[in-house]
Amino acid sequence: MSKIVVVGVNHAGTACINTILDNYSNEEVVAFDGNSNISFLGCGMALWIGRQIKGPEGLFYSSKEKLEEKGATIHMECEVNRIDYEQKKVFAKDIHGNEHEESYDKLILASGSLPIIPNLPGKDLENVQQVKLFQNAKEVIEKLEYQAIQDIVVVGAGYIGVELAEAFKRVDKNVTLIDIADTTLSGYYDPDFTCLMDKNMEEHKITLALNQKVVEIKGTTKCEAVVTDKATYKADMVILAIGFKPNTSLGADQLKLFKNGAFEVDEHQETSMKDVYAIGDCATVYDNASDAKSYIALATNAVRSGIVAAHNACGTPLASIGVQGSNAISVFGLNLVSTGMSVKKATALGFDVAFTDYEDYQKASFIESNNEKVRIKIVYDKKSRVILGAQLASRHDISLGIHMFSLAIQEKVTIDKLKLLDTFFLPHFNQPYNYITMAALNAK
């Protein structure tokens, strides 16, 4: 029997622990987490805040009790403050001041990520909120009950910021969304797709303050306004949703780091030190679209990395097949999905990029009800013709289509292979010459 210590028990850590306990009966698992809860699905936070779901209960899929029933030892509200990599020991202190020392044979770091908090004047004022943990969402919801909170400013127009802007508007607040970029969702989609979301937000009376830099949050004890380099916006609450950074303080001076500070790992999730693995938001991934190591913080990537590390730590070789960064957002009925690289990102990375796009109705024209338009863009390399990315937008649920493109990128499928792809046709679902086929046929 060997002892495996896991530092961090959210998505990556939970997947890792479950994989070990479900497949290896002779392994001892001890885990530490500084939080009071496990497995909170932050992607559902906006649904809870916007009252689209009844409560937070369904946003948890595991717990200390569930993992301990399987045989693990779980220390909650217990912060790991030091790791002796030479002696293979982990040191931690719990909420009651008790100190813990645990030796290990294999160590799995699942320390996650931390919110990026800009060094702004006024960032510590009351009602300036973070939005990552269950406790953050709970605090925001409790404060929304106060009549005094009517004007909410969200800083950051990535996925979380856009979703939260929708949530606050759904509970009848005045919402301003600020970002230094000139469009929402600029890190995921090209402008012809982001403009759809911009229009969608404005149609729902959300004020977009784009291409603006926040310079100050004003107030005495509570926030009162957000000042940018172009304007001032009234704010009874400010949400900082700028992004996240890998939490790697426990190994920054011992393990090799990626350019953004994440732990660099190989295809087995092992770090630069033998018997030490890193998973989830604290670690790199291999991006099949760019054929290079990257940092893509998604719960799906975290779960996969936890499974891979678990098997390798238990002596069963298993290599990651890489990721494509597949993602999606649905706001006020508008669905955007993407995988791989946008034209903007591929060009920035030095690819000689081409793309093909198309727009048509999802179903045959004689289907008069529940028939929405779909816009698609397929990005590919000019020389090799290999698909690098895809983006789709519709008010119809077109999300399953992105899985095919994810596999296409992983397997280096060319755009020309899609031209005569055997896709089925039935008027209830699609058209005989559907948007995927037509986009591929239009590729030059």
Is 11 catalytic? The answer is yes
Is 396 catalytic? The answer is no
Question: What CA–CA distance (Å, rounded) separates 326 from 328?
Answer: 7
Helix (H, G, I), strand (E, B) or coil at 327: strand
Question: What CA–CA distance (Å, rounded) separates 284 from 74?
Answer: 26
Banded model confidence at residue 1, pLDDT cuts 50, 70, 90 = confident
Mean pLDDT of the region 135-151? 95
Mean pLDDT of the region 284-292? 98
Residue 351 above 90 pLDDT?
yes
Banded model confidence at residue 294, pLDDT cuts 50, 70, 90 = very high
Question: What CA–CA distance (Å, rounded) separates 227 from 243?
Answer: 20
Please say whether the beta carbons of 49 and 168 come within 8 A. yes
Residue 269's pLDDT is 98
- Our separate counts of H helices and E strands in the chain read 10, 25
397, 390, 400: which is closest to 423 by C-alpha?
Answer: 400
Question: What CA–CA distance (Å, rounded) separates 344 from 353?
Answer: 9
Question: What is the pTM (predicted TM-score) of this model?
Answer: 0.95
Residue 83's pLDDT is 98
Distance of CA 81 to the CA centre of its chain: 26
Banded model confidence at residue 66, pLDDT cuts 50, 70, 90 = very high
Active-site residue, selected from the candidate residues 43, 100, 314, 396: 43
Residue 68, C-beta contacts closer than 8 angstroms, at least 6 positions apart:
74
Task: Characterise 295 by phi-psi region: left (phi > 0), alpha (psi -120 to 50), beta (else).
Answer: beta
94, 25, 26: which is closest to 64 by C-alpha?
Answer: 94
DSSP 266: -
* Cβ count near 98 (within 10 Å): 10
Question: What CA–CA distance (Å, rounded) separates 2 from 104?
Answer: 8
114, 130, 161: which is closest to 260 by C-alpha?
Answer: 114
Banded model confidence at residue 16, pLDDT cuts 50, 70, 90 = very high
Residue 55 above 90 pLDDT?
yes
Average model confidence (pLDDT) for the chain? 97
Residue 147's pLDDT is 86
Question: What CA–CA distance (Å, rounded) separates 173 from 31?
Answer: 41
Mean pLDDT of the region 253-263? 97
The label of the residue with tokens 């030479």 reads 86
Active-site residue, selected from the candidate residues 11, 16, 75, 78: 11
